[in-house]
Amino acid sequence: MRKSVNPVGRGLDGRDRRRLTQALAQAREARLFRRLQAVLSVAQGRNPVEVAQITGLSRRSVYHLLGRYLHSHHAADLADQPRAGRPPEAPELTRPRILRELRRSPLKLGYRTNVWTVGTLAHRLNERSHCTIGPWALRQRLKQSGLACKRPRYFYSEKAPHVAQKKGGLGAPFAGPATPGGLALRG
């Protein structure tokens, strides 16, 4: 026997349309917005195949979302469920441990630089803590810890006599030496 195609036959009524419209107005994530829009379109009487074409979802997804909503009639059930995700690389590298290494001079530790770079710091942490973390993952970890990565800037120890000529005129003012950069502490 064929299923009913009208919204009431599917288990959707005016309260569901109001509930979905309110949730749609408050949705901040694009995925949730698209899901709510699909279920609301079906609640307004559109065919699920047509809704799938409009929203860009598969027909199967539209039916699945409709089933999820009809199970409890809560718009929040259409939101993404929390997932475990990929485990972090080198969980033993905590913020205090990274800060301890940042406070040391890379030059005194045998590196041929006086400023920490992400690659150099990753190499040092890999040696020191016997774990593997790449520069990209370390950069993400630094960002989560509230630390900012800056490229080192070169600075002059004294003003060159011909700086004015280089800057475009004899009387051009000299801005003074720039400060050296590297991994900067923020917060």
Q: Which two tokens stand for residue 51?
A: 């809704």
Residue 4 has pLDDT above 60, yes or no: no
**Residue-level pLDDT at 165:** 72
Residue 178 has pLDDT above 50, yes or no: no
**Residue-level pLDDT at 148:** 80
CA distances from 136 to 21, 111, 130, 183 (A): 42, 20, 18, 14
Please state the φ and ψ torsions of residue 116, each to the nearest 5 degrees. Answer: -70, 135
Chain CA centroid to CA 161, Å: 48
* C-alpha neighbours within 13 Å on the C-beta side of residue 3: 10
Min mean pLDDT across 12-26, 36-50, 85-99, 169-183 is at: 169-183
Mean pLDDT of 5-21: 83
Residue 172 has pLDDT above 50, yes or no: no
For 82-99, the pLDDT digits (tens) are: 888 777 778 888 889 999
Does pTM top 0.75 for this prediction?
Answer: no
For 120-159, the pLDDT digits (tens) are: 999 999 998 888 899 999 998 888 888 887 776 666 566 6
Contact 57, 96 (CB under 8 A): no
In Å, the largest CA–CA distance within the chain is 94
* Cα 60 from Cα 41, distance rounded (Å): 15
